[in-house]
Amino acid sequence: MDYAFQAEGLVKRFGSTTALDGVDLAARPGSVLGVLGPNGAGKTTSVRILATLLRPDAGRAVVGGFDAVHKPHEVRRRIGLTGQYASVDEDLTGTQNLVLIGQLLDLPKREARHRAHELLHQFDLAEAAGRPVRTYSGGMRRRLDLAASLVGRPNVIFLDEPTTGLDPVKRDDVWHMIRGLTAEGVTVLLTTQYLEEADALADEISVIDHGRVIAHGTSSDLKRVVGGQTVVVRPTDAGRMDEVRAILSAVAGRAAERPGPGVLSVPVDGDAAFTAVVRRLDDAGIGVTELALRLPSLDEVFFALTHPSSQAAKAAEKVLA
């Protein structure tokens, strides 16, 4: 299969620290690869190698068919990069920053100005376009940084924690923009600490820990690997919690938990248990305002995978072996 970008067996050491210990990453054209991992896992290091900013000690990174070490110029012409830390110039205005980047990318001045104008509108920065960046809020800087990565209309874009520090509305705008890019065939590598973001955007997810990929798949693959569905019930009448608790415990064969006020939940082995719960609640005449059979959240999956002693991590290892 042809990948838009691919990293194979990346190894990178910084002194005695092994940042990457054989990382493989790949994404099909027009897809979003989510890269998740705890702090220090090696996400930024992987992105920097793919973006030609760092040479691997072993392994190779290929973008658009070009090797990042041997053909860095070819790679750079095809990518956009938004770093974890803002890379725009504080003393220049929003417009000046984007025009400068356009010119560095060999766009004629007119076109660079046009592109800057277009992007500043798209990212809701038109009003601030003439102000120096040092007067921007954190969210405005992030957006300018994202706009900067799109000046050259890249085929592949590396977004390293692009929504950190954005409010929910602006985060939503960025998600919308990312979906728009992939609809045009752009391939995205997205690192994020917000797992709901990976859940919402990523076609596939690679989980990195200690410089290694410890799990890979779609969000639902990962949830299945970690396993376990949960029945969640919120009775209309809070006075009947004890009855609900008794029903859940009887059906599941283990004690129900109270994840929040007025709600009970219990892990179950399959959907037959869910049907049984529904039947028993109905027989007892207990009304509900919430009733669900759900997969674990990606947060729960992440926790299980990156906590090696947990049951789930052992189950995942078996499946991946």
Ligand X SMILES: Nc1ncnc2c1ncn2[C@@H]1O[C@H](COP(=O)(O)OP(=O)(O)OP(=O)(O)O)[C@@H](O)[C@H]1O
Q: Which residues sit at the interface with ligand X, rule CB under 6 A?
A: 14, 17, 19, 37, 39-45, 84
| Strand pairing category for 32-36 and 58-63 | unpaired
Residues near Mg ion (CB under 5 A) are 43-44, 84
Three-state secondary structure call for residue 55: coil
Closest approach of ligand X to the CB of residue 77, in Å: 25
CB 206 within 8 A of CB 34: yes
Closest approach of ligand X to the CB of residue 12, in Å: 8
Closest approach of Mg ion to the CB of residue 160, in Å: 6
Q: Which residue reads 């029945």 in tokens?
A: 231
Binds 36: which of ligand X, Mg ion, none (CB < 5-8 Å by kind): none
Of the two residues 87 and 103, which places its CB atom closer to ligand X in the complex? 87
Binds 206: which of ligand X, Mg ion, none (CB < 5-8 Å by kind): none
Q: Which residue reads 């600490």 in tokens?
A: 193
Binds 41: which of Mg ion, ligand X, none (CB < 5-8 Å by kind): ligand X
Binds 45: which of Mg ion, ligand X, none (CB < 5-8 Å by kind): ligand X
Q: Identify the sign of the CA torsion 238, 241, 244, 248.
A: positive
Closest approach of Mg ion to the CB of residue 296, in Å: 25
Of the two residues 99 and 207, which places its CB atom closer to ligand X in the complex? 207
Of the two residues 85 and 153, which places its CB atom closer to ligand X in the complex? 85
Tokens of 307: 């906590």
Three-state secondary structure call for residue 186: coil
Closest approach of ligand X to the CB of residue 209, in Å: 9
CB 19 within 8 A of CB 10: no
Of the two residues 19 and 125, which places its CB atom closer to Mg ion in the complex? 19
Q: Which residue intervals of 51-86 are DSSP H helices?
A: 72-78
Residues 6+ apart with CB under 8 A from 231: 248, 251, 252, 265, 266, 268, 273, 274, 277, 292, 293
Residue type, 40: G
Binds 309: which of ligand X, Mg ion, none (CB < 5-8 Å by kind): none
Cα–Cα distance between 224 and 80 in angstroms, integer?
Answer: 33
Of the two residues 115 and 142, which places its CB atom closer to Mg ion in the complex? 142
